[in-house]
Amino acid sequence: MFEVFEQLASVADWETIKNTIKSQQVPLNLFGEVMYLLGVDVGQAFGYSIMKLLFEGKDLRDIAEFIYNDLCDQDIFHVSEYLGGFQNTPEVECNIDGKPAENSAIYVFGNDAEGAKKLSYVLTYLQHEYSLGWDDLIMVISTALSNWGLLNPSDKFLQLFLLYVSKELTVDEVC
Q: What is the DSSP string of 114-140?
A: HHHHHHHHHHHHHHHHTT--HHHHHHH
- Report the pLDDT value the prediction gives residue 12, as an integer from 0 to 100: 65
Task: Look at 71 and 10; give whichever has higher pLDDT.
Answer: 71
* Residue 161 domain flag: yes
Please tell me whether residues 41 and 80 are part of one structural domain: no
Helix axes 134-147, 113-129, angle to 10 degrees: 150
- Report the pLDDT value the prediction gives residue 122, as an integer from 0 to 100: 93
* Residue 95 domain flag: no
* Residue 93 domain flag: no
User: Which of 84, 99, 83, 168 has its CA nearest to residue 134?
Assistant: 168
Cα 117 to Cα 104: distance, rounded to the nearest angstrom: 18
User: Which of 16, 31, 42 has its CA nearest to residue 71?
Assistant: 31
Please tell me whether residues 150 and 171 are part of one structural domain: yes
- Report the pLDDT value the prediction gives residue 175, as an integer from 0 to 100: 58
| Residue 76 belongs to domain spanning | 60-85+109-175
- Report the pLDDT value the prediction gives residue 97, as an integer from 0 to 100: 57
How many separate domains does the chain show? 2
Please tell me whether residues 80 and 33 are part of one structural domain: no
* Residue 143 domain flag: yes
Q: How far apart are the first and last CA of the chain?
A: 49
- Report the pLDDT value the prediction gives residue 62, as an integer from 0 to 100: 96
Please tell me whether residues 79 and 155 are part of one structural domain: yes
- Report the pLDDT value the prediction gives residue 135, as an integer from 0 to 100: 84
Radius of gyration of the chain (CA): 16
Q: How would residue 2 be classed by pLDDT, with cut points 50, 70 and 90? A: low
Please tell me whether residues 80 and 23 are part of one structural domain: no
* Residue 76 domain flag: yes
pLDDT digits (tens, 9 = 90+) for 119-173: 999 999 998 899 888 788 888 888 888 877 766 777 787 788 888 888 876 667 6
pLDDT digits (tens, 9 = 90+) for 48-84: 888 998 999 999 999 999 999 999 999 988 998 898 8
Please tell me whether residues 77 and 159 are part of one structural domain: yes
Q: How would residue 43 be classed by pLDDT, with cut points 50, 70 and 90? A: confident
* Residue 94 domain flag: no
Task: Look at 6 and 166; give whichever has higher pLDDT.
Answer: 166
